[in-house]
Amino acid sequence: MSLLDVDGLVKRFGGLLAIDDLSLSVDEGELVGVMGPNGAGKSTFFNCVSGVVQPDGGTVRFDGADVTGVDTATLARDGLVRTFQHTRQLDTMTVRENVRLAAPGQPGEQPVSALLRTSTMQETEAEVAERADELIELFELTRLADEYASSLSGGQRKLLELARVLMLEPDLLLLDEPFAGVNPTLTNEIADHIRGLNDDGMTLVVIEHELETLTELVDRLVVLQQGSLLVEGEPEVVLNDERVIDAYLGS
């Protein structure tokens, strides 16, 4: 069964048709790459699916339910989570605080809850802290755990972003350019993590310009052009498709 089913999606910005009748499905357990020239509508596609912007037409179904236009926080609670091209961390907080704060519905965040801390809340906080530390270790950020996020390199920020979204325990993770601005060593490391998450059963869709890394990583490639689906299929086949070569040469 498809975990994500997008049908006839349309998104306009004024007179510009950013997504033009796009239909696309992702099966449970798949690792799908999304590519396309600048302005093809890749980020807008993610934005429509993850509730960041409201589509003007079409439907988005997640895990069998119609979630068209549902807000980001609700979708995240339901297991659909996205990352952004430009990471969104709190620079004045440490790596550890950033990861802990990404957990949903933290009791310590609300003033009343903080005053009435029950043992259940304390248990939840302990679980959050433990999970955060596990993820910090998984992404080899332990030695940076007490550093401010502002001191991290581009690649380390991407790792922190991954740790943060995994606090939400997503079923479907949409990654927007996870290798952008990352050095080759960390690129390989991030690719390994993505593969590992997929091996553990997570469904992932990855937007990426770095075609070599993307092609080696994914099961299926989807190419967008001017908001529509141009070609999809096995990475090797897609990359040699003349329509794809033309789209890139023409961009």
Ligand X SMILES: Nc1ncnc2c1ncn2[C@@H]1O[C@H](COP(=O)(O)OP(=O)(O)OP(=O)(O)O)[C@@H](O)[C@H]1O
The site for ligand X (CB under 6 A) is made up of 13, 16, 18, 36, 38-44
Residue among 174, 230, 158, 240 at smallest CA distance from 207? 174
- Please give the Cα distance from 109 to 90 (Å, whole number): 15
Residue placing its CB nearer to ligand X in the complex, 9 or 197: 9
CB of 83 to ligand X, least distance (A): 14
CB of 217 to ligand X, least distance (A): 18
CB of 104 to ligand X, least distance (A): 27
Residue placing its CB nearer to ligand X in the complex, 23 or 150: 23
Residue among 35, 19, 8 at smallest CA distance from 220? 35
CB of 18 to ligand X, least distance (A): 3
Residue placing its CB nearer to ligand X in the complex, 103 or 244: 244
CB of 153 to ligand X, least distance (A): 22
Residue placing its CB nearer to ligand X in the complex, 10 or 90: 10
Residue placing its CB nearer to ligand X in the complex, 90 or 180: 180
